[in-house]
Amino acid sequence: MSTTEPATAGGASPTPDGGPNYLSHKQIMVVLGGLMAGMFLAALDQSIVGTALPRIVSEFNSLDKLSWVVTAYLLTSTASTPLWGKVSDLYGRRPLFIAAIVTFLAGSVLAALSQNIEMLIGFRAVQGLGAGGLMSLAFATIGDVIPPRERGKYMGYFGAVFGLSSVAGPLLGGLLTDGPGWRWIFWINLPIGLVALGIVGAVLKLPHVKRSHKIDYLGAATVAAAVTSLLLAVSWSGPTNGWGTGTTLALLGASVVLAVVFVFVELKVAEPIIPMDLFKGRIFSGYAGYAFLLGFAMFGALIFLPLYLQAVKDMSPTRSGLALLPMIVGIFSASIPSGQLMSKTGRYKIYPIISAVAVGAAMVMLSTLSLSTPYWQLAIYMFVMGAGLGLSMQITVTAAQNSVPRQHMGSATSTMTFFRSMGGAIGTAVYGAVLTSRLTSHLTDLVPQAAQGMVDQLAKAANSVQALHALQQPMKGWALHGLVDAMGDVFLVSLPFLAIALIIAIITPEQRLAGRNDGPKAEGEDSLESSAAAAMH
């Protein structure tokens, strides 16, 4: 027998027909403060740590384990994302969001106290475990308290979180590392996290329908193992050991086998971690694929633009963070008006289409970068990139949430986040492999025949900004020229994936966004197109 917890101040009680009684604008703004603080923790951590890594590995004398500081976080955050969403569907958003914040803060404190690189890697994994819940649960909670038709009004706030973290991360990372020390990049999470805990604990009192349930432990284990195998292959073994080695191939094969096993498990269990029924809907499955491809494409720009600014334009990490501001302005300038229009009209299909075109155009522009490209020109390219991302970052999540039954809100939201994260992780590895191979090729063409023996040395130097700047002319000129040419190839590699994303955006049907007074969504409720088709018959 199902029972419903009573509504409390700041919460939303179900209506008699089972639909949610959404929060008022004033209540939403208070709740958003806590959710955005939690999201800011996860978003900031992705950009603040990179600045401090050279100092960390120097202190611990462990350059060979540098990649694991990033990979450990990536592994646990990505693998745990669907688990957080499903468990929150069973037990409620509030306790799980609080648990995610506490887990992230515990990992931050332990990371700050690390005495060696192995401890830091382990505690970064704990941080990642919490981060996997912060982003997906925040979006799922938004789906609980704001009707789909009105979510566009609040998109600018979400864009602000990502924009602020993109600029503040390198700035804070540089200031703290050069000031009190790299450990403060973890200590700074405490005040932000405590504010988020205070707001969420005080005002986020959502009702939850209690029902009998059974945790899908086998599904959780297989999805975690599949993701771990894939990410180890693309983030560690491939770049380190080579893509054709036995270890890399074994990890890739294991990820495929485990993914197939996971699908079979999910089709059989009563409470799947990722309900396979979600993918029967063309809207959800279409935008899940779109999120994967856009994540794949955009991470190339987000990773290599700071490298271009620091290596080629000789900017400090702090200045390069500020130099990314045009991209942030682009995100705001597109996400706020498109969100307002989406709320006004209830339509959204055009925005992912324009997004794929704009990001593709930005990639073509970025592929033309050279050693002498003026900053104002790069700023225009970054603005176009930001505008493209701003047109789809939250709109696709809203569209996916709107297309599924409300009891699957957490699973649907976390699955969308999961696909975007996987796209980013795989894209980062692919772009890294392309950069390495094309760099060697370009250097071979650039370096005079008499100096061909230096190609490998120059390619290795290009992996470090400090090593690049330490080179003497003409070697430095050759290395920088080869690096810029290789980056241009990387940006062009994203175009086929963006073309597929554009096709998906065009063929994915649209469903009117539900408003505040709409009744509950039925289990099998589908898109506008299917409704029209039914009417025709």
Query: Which DSSP string do the residues of 41-77 spell out, in sequence order?
Result: HHHHHHHHHHHHHHHHHHHHT-GGGHHHHHHHHHHHH
The 10s digit of each residue's pLDDT in 334-348 is: 888 888 888 888 888
Higher pLDDT, 513 or 193: 193
From first CA to last CA, the distance across the chain in angstroms is 39
Beta partners for residue 209, in sequence order: 4
For 509-533, what is the mean pLDDT?
A: 53
Tokens at 104, concatenated: 């992230």
For 204-230, what is the mean pLDDT?
A: 74
The 10s digit of each residue's pLDDT in 404-449 is: 887 777 788 888 888 888 888 788 778 877 887 888 888 887 877 7
* pLDDT recorded at residue 534: 35
- What is the amino acid identity at position 62? S
Residue 518 has pLDDT above 60, yes or no: no
What is the spatial distance between Cα 500 and Cα 495, in angstroms, rounded to a whole number? 9
Provide, for the chain, the percentages of residues in helix, strand and coil under a 3-state DSSP scheme, each rounded to the nearest 5.
Answer: 80, 0, 20
Tokens at 397, concatenated: 């999540």
**How remote is the C-alpha of 300 from its chain's centroid?**
13
Question: Among positive and negative, which fits the CA dihedral 134, 139, 144, 145?
Answer: positive
413 within 8 A of 143, measured Cβ to Cβ:
yes
The model's confidence at residue 65, banded by pLDDT at 50, 70 and 90, is low
C-alpha neighbours within 13 Å on the C-beta side of residue 507: 12
Least confident of 99-108, 192-201, 400-409, 457-466: 457-466
* Count of Cβ atoms closer than 10 Å to residue 211 Cβ: 12
Tokens at 143, concatenated: 């789906």
Cis peptide before 474 (omega within 30 of 0): yes
415 within 8 A of 85, measured Cβ to Cβ:
yes
* pLDDT recorded at residue 2: 37
Tokens at 121, concatenated: 């890697």
The 10s digit of each residue's pLDDT in 274-320 is: 888 888 888 999 999 999 999 888 776 677 787 788 888 888 767 77
Highest mean pLDDT out of 70-79, 80-89, 269-278, 378-387? 378-387
Which residues are CB-contacts of 2 (< 8 A; sequence separation ≥ 6)? 209, 210, 211
CATH class of the region 1-213: mainly alpha
CATH superfamily of 274-513: MFS general substrate transporter like domains (1.20.1250.20)
Residue 472 has pLDDT above 80, yes or no: no
Tokens at 228, concatenated: 């771990």
225 within 8 A of 75, measured Cβ to Cβ:
no
The 10s digit of each residue's pLDDT in 7-60 is: 333 344 444 444 555 667 777 787 787 788 888 888 787 778 876 776 776 777
Does this model's pTM top 0.85?
A: no
